[in-house]
A and B are shown apart, each in its own frame.
Chain A
Amino acid sequence: MKTVLVVDDSPMIRRIAKKILEELNFKTGEAEDGQKALVAVSDSMPDAILLDWNMPVMDGLAFLVHLRQLPNGATPKVLFCTTESDVKHITRAMQAGADEYIMKPFNKQIVKSKFEEVGLC
Chain B
Amino acid sequence: MSLAFAALQSFLLRSSGLSLDRDKQYLVEARLMPVVQQAGLASLNDLIAKIETDRALAKKVTEAMTINETFFFRDRQPFEGFRQVILPELMKARGKTRRLRIWSAACSTGQEPYSLAMILDEEARALMGWTVEIVASDIADSVLKKAREGAYTHFEVQRGMPTPHLVRYFTKRKDHWTVNQTIRARVNFRQQNLMEDFSHLGVFDAIFCRNVLIYFAPEQKRDVLNRAARSLAPDGYLVLGAAESVIGHSTEFKPHDDHRAILARRPRPDLCSF
Contact = CB atoms under 8 A, between A and B. Distances in A.
Interface of A: 85-87, 90-91, 94, 100-103, 106-107, 109-110, 113-114, 116-117
Contact of A87 (B158, B160, B167): B167
B158 A106 contact: yes
Contact of B172 (A86, A102, A110, A114): A86
Interface of B: 71, 76, 154-155, 158-160, 162-164, 166-167, 172
A86 B172 CA distance: 7
22 contacts: A85-B172, A86-B172, A87-B172, A90-B163, A90-B166, A90-B167, A91-B167, A94-B167, A100-B162, A100-B163, A101-B163, A103-B154, A103-B158, A107-B155, A109-B159, A110-B155, A110-B158, A110-B159, A113-B158, A113-B159, A116-B76, A117-B163
A98 B159 CA distance: 18
A102 B158 contact: yes
A91 B177 CA distance: 15
A85 B154 contact: yes
B112 to A, nearest CB: 16
Contacts of A109: 155, 159
Nearest first, the 3 closest Cβ-Cβ pairs linking A and B are A101-B163, A110-B158, A113-B159
Pick from A102, A106, A114 the residue with the most CB of B within 10 Å.
A114
Contacts of B172: 85-87
A108 B71 CA distance: 15
A113 B160 contact: yes
Given A90-B167, A94-B167, 15 more contacts: A85-B154, A85-B172, A90-B166, A94-B163, A101-B163, A102-B158, A103-B154, A106-B158, A107-B155, A109-B159, A110-B158, A113-B71, A113-B158, A116-B76, A117-B162
Contacts of B159: 109-110, 113
A116 to B, nearest CB: 8
A103 B152 CA distance: 14
A101 to B, nearest CB: 4
Nearest to A85: B154
